[in-house]
Amino acid sequence: MTFGTCLARHPTTRSETVRVKVQACGICHSDTLTKEGTYPRIQYPRVPGHEVVGVIDAVGPEVASWTVGQRVGVGCHGRYCGRCAFCRRVTALALVPDDLSPVEAAPLMCAGITTFNALRNSGAKPGDVVAVLGIGGLGHLGVQYAAKLGFRTVAIARGKDKEALAKQLGAQIYIDTEVQDPAAELLKLGGAKAILATVTSSDV
């Protein structure tokens, strides 16, 4: 498909877009909501999978900052995403290092962005206590980001089974909600500057 044909097939695109050949696409829980139609005012067709990593294989005439062959990641819940290629505005792209596999990079386009943006906008500074509640699909990334950002990172989860992983990922302190009161434990540390909550139930 030529870039012109791509534009013709996708009427919402503009000349400031690129075409991305998909290498990997993650699936997360919000894709279930898309499939089941539980998002308000959702319009079909929709293609589940919005954690896309691929290679730019065509560039619109007004694009100056991106070139064919660059590996990029992009979040996408579009009506026009295909199995192999799609067009996307350049403002939605993120450069992906060549040494990071597409399969490992794809989830960063959703879970990674969600947790990173929350932490970088939290107001916390290096040395501050930051807690991550829930060490699952989102939380395991949140712990790594918090540690790399220099926060005094506290992981909170239910049971002892996740403690080793949490500390391997960079948590300095682990709170087991089955035997400890998280609020009391955080107060012992002087309180938390930010708490990144990644679970939907207070019982988890």
pLDDT by residue (tens digit) across 14-63? 567 888 888 888 888 888 888 888 888 888 877 777 788 989 888 888 88
* Measured distance CA(53)–CA(98) in Å, rounded: 11
* Measured distance CA(159)–CA(175) in Å, rounded: 9
Contacts of 100 (CB under 8 A, 6+ apart): none
DSSP 195: E
With cut-offs at 50, 70 and 90, classify the pLDDT of residue 201. Answer: low
pLDDT at 196: 98
pLDDT at 11: 43
Query: Between the CA of residue 69 and those of 16, 79, 95, what are the distances in Å?
Result: 17, 25, 11
Q: Is 146 helix (H, G, I), strand (E, B) or coil?
A: helix
Closest C-alpha to 52, from 21, 79, 28, 75: 75
Contacts of 41 (CB under 8 A, 6+ apart): none
pTM of the model: 0.78
pLDDT at 117: 93
Q: Two tokens at 82?
A: 């295909």
Average pLDDT of 166-176? Answer: 98
pLDDT at 110: 87
Q: Two tokens at 118?
A: 């929350």
